[in-house]
Copies of this chain bind each other. A is one copy, B any other.
Amino acid sequence: MSTKLSVPNPSPLLIKEAERVKEASISLGQANDEQRIEALTVMANALNDSADEILEANLIDIERSKKEGLNKSLLSRLQLTETKLKGCIEGVLKVSNLSDPIGHRQLHRKLDEHLILERVTVPLGVLGVIFESRPDALIQIASLAVRSGNGALLKGGSEARSTNRAIMDSLNMGLNKSNVGAGSLSLLTTRQESLGLLRLDRFVNLIIPRGSNELVQFIQENTRIPVLGHADGICHLYVDDFVDIDKAISIALDSKIQYPAACNAIETLLIHENVADKFLRKSLPIFSNAGVTIKGDAKSQSLGVENPATDEDWSTEYLDLILSIKIVRNIDEAIEHIRKYSSRHTEAIATNDKEIAEKFLRSVDSAGVYHNCSTRFADGFRYGFGAEVGISTQTLPPRGPVGLEGLVTYRYFLRGDGDLVKDFASGDRSFSHIDLPL
């Protein structure tokens, strides 16, 4: 998507659909834990029952996309094999096993006799989901939405339209048989609709983009609805001078090559000048063997790095087996560089000096700051959240990998017995503010 596209106002039809989903989301949001778990089970069964139709629809999408010349990597994301679909269905059941994010009491306070304040988690309302190519994203997000009691307006890539339609029909068939009922999920089909979605402030509480950096950036720049996601993931590893070189090399290697297209892979390695020679002499052949192209600043070139890194490199997310290297005088220069170029996703330090490590952790304001481990750990599943709704690089919570808790908010309940503020204002009564058990 080009950022030159203008965002149209939502059509009356889209507004009507959003109202319908909003309405349905309210009753879904009042379904209890058991009912939402049952709904997911029925959804998984429905997907199982419709497996043939879904796979056939996928073949249609694949055939058409091949003719239209869709590139290989997008084709492979689009393709839904039997195994992949099975995995998705297992995923739905896994989501049903996640603990309920709704109804948690976060605050419980007696303001005065018979005047009790509670803060309890509730669903957000309606999610707006925009995803590219992968039809499995539809299944995953639909199940996360139902688990958290949220409605969803979902817009998939047009190349996957037959598959998405078949999946959505199946999910709705399932929901229809469940106690929560259908209506809370709706598939948008036109590009106009996905653009109009960005202006549905009145109905949509959170936008979740799943796709390219360009897609995410376009969305972030063209909506006032909060967006859960990140455009770039420019992550750094800083290798300090008091360091175990072998450990640092394997952390760098894992952070770069374990899955270079991931947002939590590093793009830039910062090396303390005192260990640069030793580190590079040992690591350059290893990186080369692993197929990594190294680009470096002047100093690192003088130490054997073949390709020059320009200023542009420091702000480039390669998403590939390319790594830029900069030699720094000390941790302060490393922190300074990170402050300037990082997308505040995840940064790591390799050092045996605990004080230096703590300084790094205190000073670098990224969602994740690591000591002596790979940046690739920045992931909802690895953090033990059981699911990952997205990774956010914004400052306000939720940030970093976000699990189901990113799909809920809270509401304050205050229960009294005719209590009036004037009695407290006059001094006849006073607040006790006693916290009660949660």
Contacts and interface: CB of A to CB of B under 8 A. Distances in A.
Contacts of A247: 417-418
A370 B254 contact: no
B395 A125 contact: yes
Interface string A221-254: 1001010000000000000000010010011001
A176 interface: no
Interface string A105-147: 0000101000101000010110000000000000000000000
Interface string A357-381: 1000111011111111110111000
Given A395-B124, A409-B397, A373 B254 contact: no
A206 interface: yes
A416 B250 CA distance: 13
Nearest to A264: B421
Contacts of A372: 415-419
Contacts of A50: none
Nearest to A434: B384
Copies of this chain present in the complex amount to: 2
B416 A362 contact: no
A411 interface: yes
A411 B109 contact: no
Interface in A307-322: none
A412 B396 CA distance: 13
Interface residues of A, number: 67
Contact of A111 (B383, B411, B424): B383
A124 to B, nearest CB: 6
Contacts of A371: 413-416
Contacts of A115: 373, 377
Contact of A421 (B111, B254, B424): B254
Nearest to A435: B384
Contacts of A376: 420-421
Contacts of A397: 397, 409-410
B384 A419 contact: no
Interface in A335-363: 357, 361-363
A399 interface: yes
A413 B30 contact: no
Given A369-B411, A377-B111, A412-B383, A420 B254 contact: yes
Interface of A: 26, 30, 109, 111, 115, 117, 122, 124-125, 205-206, 220-221, 224, 226, 244, 247, 250-251, 254, 258-259, 357, 361-363, 365-374, 376-378, 382-384, 394-397, 399-401, 409-422, 424-425, 431, 433
10 contacts: A26-B363, A226-B396, A251-B420, A254-B420, A259-B421, A370-B415, A371-B414, A371-B416, A373-B419, A397-B410
